[in-house]
Chain A
Amino acid sequence: MSTKASAAPRAVKPPLGRRIRRDFRKNWKLYLLFVPILVYFIIFKYAPMFGLSISFLDYRPARGIAGSRFVGLQHFRSFFSDPYFFRLLRNTITISLCTLIFSFPSAILLAIMINELQSRRLSRTVQTISYIPHFISTVVICGIIRQLVGRTGGITMLLSTLFGMEPTNMLLEPGYFIPIYIGTDIWQSIGWNSIVYLSALTSIDQELYEAARVDGANKWNQLVHVTIPCLVPTIIIMFILKVGKMFDVGYEKIMLLYNPLTYETADVINTYVYRRGMEQQQWSYSTAVGLFNSVVCFSLVFFTNYITRRANGNSLW
């Protein structure tokens, strides 16, 4: 069994059987405590992973997994030749790259700016205010977005007076979808994501700044040569986590904002999985698409982790 294998002893010591018995006699209460947890993980985390096998079947709920026909890679092949394949891939990558390019650094910038504030009271206020959107539900956020970018919405009006844009319902225009998504993503997450950097910043040794100042460094030099280098380890960890989530773009938000008119720029892999699976009941096909997504996600985490570890020794594991 894999359980025993992974816990196998490194040194010689007493035989495995006896060690297991002794371990169990000593720790059986602990194991008993873990049984409900194990049950939870098996049912709700690992059973779905096992359920991924239906992507190789022609799954019919009535017949169950055992009774469904095995079709091999057929669903994957039809996904790769799906007319929407490239569109889904392109949108997924574009949206997540845009969050990486815009949302990710914005939080770092905010943290640095807050850290430079001289007034404690202002610093506290800025933090409190910037965290608020994080606590508002996706449904409400999307409701507000719909109001603001509608034909007579506040943002539409602002843009039309500033740039002479023709006032339309921006959510019906494919070209506006990604800017709306990214802009509101920054609005929602900038404060919350900055917390991690802020706390890294406050732990920087003040003597480093003193020393820099003695050497004649001005504010800008201090920023470039002290603040940023001290932030790099945190940035790298957050970056790996972010890249790992790349293919997991906020589909809940997209589902509340998109409509058939904007599928061209808004439809991502996960929303497609939902439509094909939940709305059209193509269980096997949508699971295959989902599996593709999960595998890409997982490899991305590994890959970035590997690269950053090779590059400078910062990594998740």
Chain B
Amino acid sequence: MSTIHAKETNRNRIKIPLGERIFYAADSVLLILICVIILIPLIHVVAGSFSDGNKYMAHVGLLFWPLDFNLDAYRAVMQNHNIWTGYLNTLFIVVVGTTLNIIFSLVAAYVLSRRAYMLKRFFNLLVVFSMYFSGGMIPFFLVVRGVGLYNSIWSLILPALINVFNLVIVRTAMEGVPDSLEESAELDGAGHLTILFRIITPLIKPTVAVICLYYAVAHWNSWFNAMLFIKKRSMYPLQMILREIIILNDLAASSTGDEAFFMSETIKFATIIVATVPILCVYPFIQKYFVKGIMVGAVKG
């Protein structure tokens, strides 16, 4: 299932010297320790979300186990309709956005990877240059507002239609497909779209899966563009609602005293869990493709 395996070295060796045995043991112990450190904050959140609100407030330090296990926090989250509208908005963005992302990236990568045509170099330059230089936040905002996307959910989909890094990953994968396949399809009279979607895409399925995940995760987790472009609360994606609950609420609480802070601590944790678990559930399935995707993008970037 997983990605890279430790090489099966040393199989034919008879005995491992003591020094090396200590080295391997120390290595394993250290790595396990690192994993524990990585997991501790997450365990704290999970344990906190199942804890009793008042008990949690009285508790000091890290949690490894729920205090007085109960589901009150989750019940409160279920009743918060803001979270559900946020969820629906985010689902819409993820589904529609990722679909469009994939279609546009495939088409763009197909054209960029085609054999000689006059503007090939120019198109590639145009695309790659935008990776290294950008107009920055303010002109971007003004342009998106200028084309009438302000306060529209499409402002979170259309400006993010193509991620050049992902595009380069797909382009490189397509360059690996033998030309002869395309040529014979052309001889059979297949058009560009047939070649792209019937012949090339099935061959680079792992790459498509990886960028699909990248795009979907990016949509799921993004909040900054929503902060720039969405003012109506009914259109807030999940992350903006989360920001209100876990960040702004906290800011308000620390400036006005601990009252509001008091009741919502475990609820914040439950909200985090509800908002994060779906994306974490997807990733083990695509994990085996990561290496490929990342390698290509990094080397050919």
A residues at B contact (CB < 8 Å)? 3, 6-7, 19-20, 23, 26-27, 29-31, 33-34, 36-38, 40-41, 43-52, 54, 61, 110, 113-120, 122-133, 135-140, 142-144, 146-148, 152, 154, 157-158, 169, 172, 187, 190-191, 195-196, 198-199, 201-202, 206, 209, 218-219, 234, 237-238, 241, 244, 252, 255-256, 259, 270, 273-274, 277-278, 283, 286-287, 290-291, 293-294, 297-298, 301, 316
Contact = CB atoms under 8 A, between A and B. Distances in A.
A54 B139 contact: yes
Nearest to B193: A33
Contacts of A116: 6, 23-24, 27
B133 A34 contact: no
Contact of B31 (A61, A114, A301): A114
A258 to B, nearest CB: 11
Main secondary structure of the interface of B (DSSP, over half): helix
A293 B137 CA distance: 11
B62 A158 contact: yes
A51 B135 contact: yes
A34 B123 contact: yes
Contacts of B141: 277-278
A46 B1 contact: no
Nearest to B22: A219
Given A41-B130, A138-B223, A283-B138, A241 B280 contact: no
B176 interface: no
A273 B104 contact: no
B114 A195 contact: no
Interface residues of B, number: 104
Contacts of B19: 218-219
Interface string B94-117: 000000000010011011001001
Given A119-B6, A123-B6, A273-B136, 17 more contacts: A44-B161, A51-B139, A117-B24, A123-B2, A128-B287, A131-B283, A131-B290, A135-B279, A136-B276, A137-B220, A144-B272, A148-B62, A152-B61, A196-B295, A198-B4, A218-B20, A241-B301
Q: Closest 10 interchain pairs by CB?
A: A48-B135, A51-B139, A290-B136, A143-B246, A154-B62, A137-B221, A124-B2, A157-B61, A48-B139, A45-B130
B80 interface: no
B177 interface: no
A130 B36 CA distance: 10
A309 B194 CA distance: 42
A29 B192 contact: yes
A26 B117 CA distance: 9
A123 B5 contact: yes
A47 to B, nearest CB: 5
Interface stretch (B40-48, B68-76, B200-208): B40-48
Contacts of A195: 3-4, 290-291, 294
Contact of A132 (B7, B38, B147, B224): B38
Contact of A51 (B117, B143, B162): B143
A270 B134 CA distance: 13
Contacts of B158: 40, 44
A144, A238, A255, A278 pick with most chain B CB within 10 angstroms? A144
A147 B44 CA distance: 10
Contacts of A144: 41, 44-45, 272
A72 B45 CA distance: 52
22 contacts: A34-B107, A34-B111, A36-B104, A41-B162, A44-B143, A48-B139, A126-B34, A132-B42, A136-B279, A137-B276, A143-B268, A144-B45, A146-B250, A148-B44, A198-B3, A219-B20, A219-B23, A244-B132, A252-B223, A290-B136, A297-B132, A297-B133
B114 A30 contact: yes
B132 A131 contact: no
B21 to A, nearest CB: 10
B175 to A, nearest CB: 16
Contacts of B301: 237, 241, 316
B136 A293 contact: yes
B254 interface: yes
